[in-house]
């Protein structure tokens, strides 16, 4: 395939959504609304629907056969990919992973004002790590900042602001996604 951005001669258009398992769908939704002005779009599985479980869940999405998907909600977060929240129950659930563990460990939210975004994140119930920090290396740029935080249920979210060109842009015509102004 290479780095052409094509698979079977069809363009790859981008990331549609990320899925996050949370212990409480309503509390997670409140956090995302308060911290990021997220907008709930729809519940694909409602709390009043029968849970998604057993061999069907294991076969379709790889969840543990003894786990239950209680409810599922799609969230709009700015103009980027959607966030699909899953509230699940199972006997062998684990806390959210650390950045040093294998697998998808965080997503970044582009913000214009990292100080304001930090205050909202903390006021909504999240905790922040040190920072804000200046970007460096190929992401260095005037006014570029980043900072990691942890949601109330343990997921990692990075706040990032890149208002000016990145250093890498001198070396390639390719550009990473930046939301329109």
Domains of the chain as residue ranges with CATH: 1-89 (3.10.180), 104-181 (3.30.720.110)
Kindly give the interhelix angle for 114-123 and 25-36, rounded to the nearest 10 degrees.
150
pLDDT of residue 11: 67
pLDDT at 1: 40
Per-residue pLDDT for the chain (181 aa), expressed as one digit of tens each? 444 555 556 666 778 899 999 999 999 999 999 999 999 999 998 999 988 887 877 777 788 888 989 999 999 998 888 999 999 998 888 888 888 888 888 999 999 999 999 999 999 999 999 999 999 999 999 999 999 999 999 999 999 999 999 999 999 998 888 887 7
Judge contact between 132 and 114, C-beta under 8 A.
yes
Q: What's phi and psi for 69, nearest 5 deg?
A: -90, 110
Which residues of the chain form beta strands (DSSP E)?
A: 6-7, 10-11, 17-22, 39-45, 52-53, 68-76, 82-89, 106-110, 127-128, 133-134, 145-150, 156-161
pLDDT score of 12: 67
Give the span between the Cα atoms of 28 and 47, in whole angstroms.
15
pTM of the model: 0.83
């Amino acid at each position: 395939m290479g780095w052409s951005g094509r698979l079977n001669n069809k363009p790859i258009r981008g990331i549609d959504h990320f899925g996050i398992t949370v212990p409480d769908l309503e509390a997670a939704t409140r956090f995302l609304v308060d911290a990021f002005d997220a907008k709930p779009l729809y519940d694909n599985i409602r709390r009043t629907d029968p849970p998604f479980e057993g061999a069907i869940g294991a076969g379709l999405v790889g969840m543990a056969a003894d786990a239950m998907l209680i409810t599922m909600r799609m969230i709009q977060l700015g103009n980027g990919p959607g966030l699909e929240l899953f509230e699940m129950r199972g006997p062998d659930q684990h806390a959210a992973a650390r950045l040093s563990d294998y697998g998808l460990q965080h997503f970044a939210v582009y913000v214009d004002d990292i100080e304001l975004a930090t205050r909202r994140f903390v006021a909504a119930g999240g905790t922040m790590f040190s920072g804000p920090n200046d970007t460096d290396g190929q992401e260095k740029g005037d006014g570029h900042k980043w900072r990691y935080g942890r949601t109330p249920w343990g997921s990692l979210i990075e706040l990032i602001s890149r208002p000016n060109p990145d250093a890498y842009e001198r070396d390639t015509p390719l550009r990473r996604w930046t939301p329109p102004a």
